[in-house]
Amino acid sequence: MTETSANTTGVYVGLHDLIALEHRGRKVSFLPRQPVHSLLSGRFASRMRGRGLNFEEIRDYRPGDDVRSIDWKVTARLRKPHIRVFNEERDRQTILVVDQRLSMFFGSRHAMKSVTAAEAAAIGAWRVLGVGDRIGAVVFNDRDCIEVRARRSRATVLQILAAVVTQNQALGVGRGLVSAPTMLNTALDHARRRAPHDAAVIIIRRF
């Protein structure tokens, strides 16, 4: 199937369409909306790009230090207040799980759910790359799961988009496709194996 014939507006999506969404990726954010000094502030409420805290050292307590960082075990052992010092993480791995099964091949007059999912995946991938993080994906249909290892490169985003387009353009009625609801579990299992403990997993499917 060629790019021209497959790229029927709203029914199928083409690679050029997904590449063209790069500018829209600059307008979205996966960071929390509340300000740092809100009542809900804490490690994960920050607007800063850091995605968590890595332990760096234990040192003696100094005036102005956050008392919540006091290490009570060390303090009790040394009989002098000590705190745990952390540094901010500047990198986070994101895994996209993109559903392109037959159950996604329906929608409104605007677009099929499968097309909307493909576009959302593209915007998300471009956004993650744009902030300098690693992006990977598990793209699945009723037959296969395509895994793309997380990397910080434009080539990786293009690899993800190509996988999405391939599965998107394979959809259709009368093509011998059989719905496989359990493929979602298979895809999530693939994502679980790919994602470290601090990764973000974004699932793009209809609910």
* Sequential DSSP letters for 142-196: SS-EEEEEEESSHHHHHHHHHHHHHHHHT--TTS-----TTHHHHHHHHHHHH--
Helix segments in 22-131, DSSP class H: 22-25, 72-78, 113-130
* CA torsion, ordered 108, 111, 115, 121, to nearest 10 deg: -90
| Residue 183: pLDDT over 80 | yes
When pLDDT is cut at 50, 70 and 90, the band that residue 1 belongs to is very low
Q: Residues 9-65: pLDDT tens digits? A: 789 999 999 999 998 887 777 665 545 444 444 444 444 444 456 677 889 998 888
Q: Residues 113-162: pLDDT tens digits? A: 999 999 999 999 999 999 889 999 999 999 999 999 999 999 999 999 99
Both tokens of 93, joined, read 């791995």
How far is residue 4's CA from residue 14's CA, in Å, rounded to a whole number? 8
When pLDDT is cut at 50, 70 and 90, the band that residue 109 belongs to is confident
